[in-house]
Amino acid sequence: MAVLGITFGVTSVKANRTADAAIHRALLSTRRAVDDYLAARTRTLGRASTVATDVPQYRQRLLNQRARAEALDQADDIRGLIDAAWVLVTNSDGILIARTDYREQYDRDLSIAPLIANALSGEQTSGAWLDDVRGAMFIAVGTPLRDRPTSAPLGALVATYQIDDSLATAIKLATNSDVVFFALDTLNQPVVVGSTVAAQDIGPALQSGVKAEVLAADTGGEGMSLAAAVGNQHLIGLAGAIRSPSGDVRGGFVALRSRESELAAFNALQRTMLWAVALGVVLALIFAFVQARQIAGPVRRLAVATRKVQEGDYSVDIAVQSRDEIGILSQAFKGLVEDLKAKDALVEYMMAASGSAATQPIASVPTAVRAVGGEPLRPGATFAGRYEVKEIVGAGGMGVVYRAFDRELQEPVAIKTLRPEAMAGGPAALERFKQEIRLARKIAHRNVVRTYDLGEQNGMYYLTMEYVEGTSLKQLIVSRGKLPVAVTLTVGKQLCRALEVAHAEGVIHRDIKPQNMVVEPSGFLKVMDFGIARLANPPQGKGLTEAGTSIGTPDYMSPEQLSGAELDPRSDLYAAGVVLFECLTGRVPFEAETTWALVAKHLEEEPPDPRRFNSDVPPLLAAVILKAMAKSPADRYETATEMHDALARLG
């Protein structure tokens, strides 16, 4: 019994140390997750505020000081539109015009508030906002109201979201850790404003454990530790600060983990071993050994696999088949390895295609290219007062693309000048195009070339976009012919991810083709020209959208697009199917001597099976492509996500 007691004692000490280490790692992860969650939520609110205030009618009604009711109504509309807890608006002097939560307040001078002052200086900032009357804490975003990016602000819009129990619950669901949000009162004492733990239970621990001066000194993101006893649970916590726009600590949060929950598996094992003592110490030791192997074995195999992946070996075998957390982790890890393997294969193929170089010029450029004001833009020239032109990187039917350096933001950009004939549709076409660009700017994804802004210089319109260095998919197909199945699957899955996020924002590309896709040296595929395709054939004086307008490249256009019918996201999926067909076969599914003959084939003939031109195409992959190219949209995949999942099941 003495030996057994010593064994249990040593095991308990090791288990406690292991639990403490696991809790610390989990709390660090949760603290980062909370910071990331709040930052993402704040960025989303800030972008939504910017989009809403870009609408002139909204801005004019907000700043209508003569009709407070109209300003309040518009503030209510914007609050609902951007899903804010409440909003307020001031004029250019920082005088309150309208506030949706305290509707009776107006004509108050808020200009000394850092959030308002920063917004009136032209800078969008964010930070904590305390409401002492209601005992609540909000994260507020201050946005300047102005009619042009370079003009002085006409006022400021402050939008907020509340830190409360629902926010804490959402973070707990994502991290499996309890979270407590608190505000600091006038005596720098923490007051619970949102929690997954009963406020009356955790409040005393916060009072004794949270020190405002320690939080204020935490500039490296390490946080401060504290412990609390709640009921029968011994909670270990890690605190972080929530600051005002000026950097002062206004509150914070504490991520909590239960020691008992972390030790639950060990305690259950200990009870089992105690029962086994009745059958003999030897049997108990054997049972403990088996249990330890069952727990540690899968983790050890995952650790070994992780080290191999770090060394560049993607041939690891993830053999864990359990349905518990380890099994879920192993499946997620397996999916990650498959993605890395696919990207690595794509990079190797690109290097082989371009002679051991991961990139090649995106497109050939005509020797005579006319730019703004009829003069060519040459390397070293300054465009629009801020862009230093480096080189011409491409030219097409819409305009010329330059690589440039943005002197204001100190980063490289791509500038696409739009040919005058592309904007020949009049004011209605221009407004229609601007609406498309507003939607395209909202798309932020690693598989999409980001659109920054639309500008005008000497009557010539231009777009600034993310600069991407890589090889166009069209060039890869032209230089190599048929692409391997593995490379095609990688291209297809990344293309579907790009379409998924674009369709979620209400943007239909309308011109999906290999020429509009670039593969980076890292193996990421990026889709270009979201929001630009509508320029190809704008309607005359019929509003922002109209069914019956054909836009795109005939080789890749869906039957409904060719016939001028109303389009939906499934039209892009048709084009995606054509792109995959071309990747596998080196040719488009329909070829004809004239454009009208080509259109007739798209409208009347069934697409050919890609296996007719490439016997290496798996039957299931051919079925995915043919379904994407079905004549009727109802027979295609409903969403890009559905098509992505179909491709993912193939490898």
pLDDT in tens, 133-158: 888 999 999 999 988 888 889 999 99
Decide if 616 is catalytic: no
Boundaries of CATH 3.30.450.20 in the chain? 54-163
Both tokens of 281, joined, read 């110490």
Question: What is the average pLDDT across 196-207?
Answer: 86
45 burial via Cβ count (<10 Å: 0-12, 13-18, 19+): buried
Which residue did the predictor score with more confidence, 516 or 358?
Answer: 516
Q: Strand pairing partners for 466? A: 413
Residue showing tokens 């995606």: 576
Residue showing tokens 């539109």: 81
Amino acid letter for position 218 = D
> Mean pLDDT, the chain, as a whole number?
81
CA 13, distance to chain mean position in Å, is 43
pLDDT at 365: 39
CATH number of 54-163, picked from 3.40.1440.10, 1.10.3720.10, 3.30.450.20, 3.40.718.10: 3.30.450.20
Boundaries of CATH 1.10.510.10 in the chain? 471-648
Q: CB within 8 A of 569, min separation 6: which ones? A: 499, 503, 508, 639, 640
Tell me the CATH architecture of domain 14-39+165-262: 2-Layer Sandwich (3.30)
pLDDT in tens, 7-56: 656 666 676 677 777 777 888 888 888 889 999 999 999 999 888 888 88
Question: What is the average pLDDT across 539-544?
Answer: 37
Integer CA distances (angstroms), 26 to 229, 307, 634, in order? 19, 21, 46
pLDDT at 498: 93
Tell me the CATH architecture of domain 471-648: Orthogonal Bundle (1.10)
pLDDT at 537 over 70: no
pLDDT at 198: 86
- Tell me which of 165, 324, 511, 529 is the catalytic residue: 511
Task: Please choose, from the candidates 159, 96, 91, 166, the residue with its C-alpha nearest in 3D space to the C-alpha of residue 129.
Answer: 159
Residues 432 and 424: beta-carbon distance below 8 Å: no
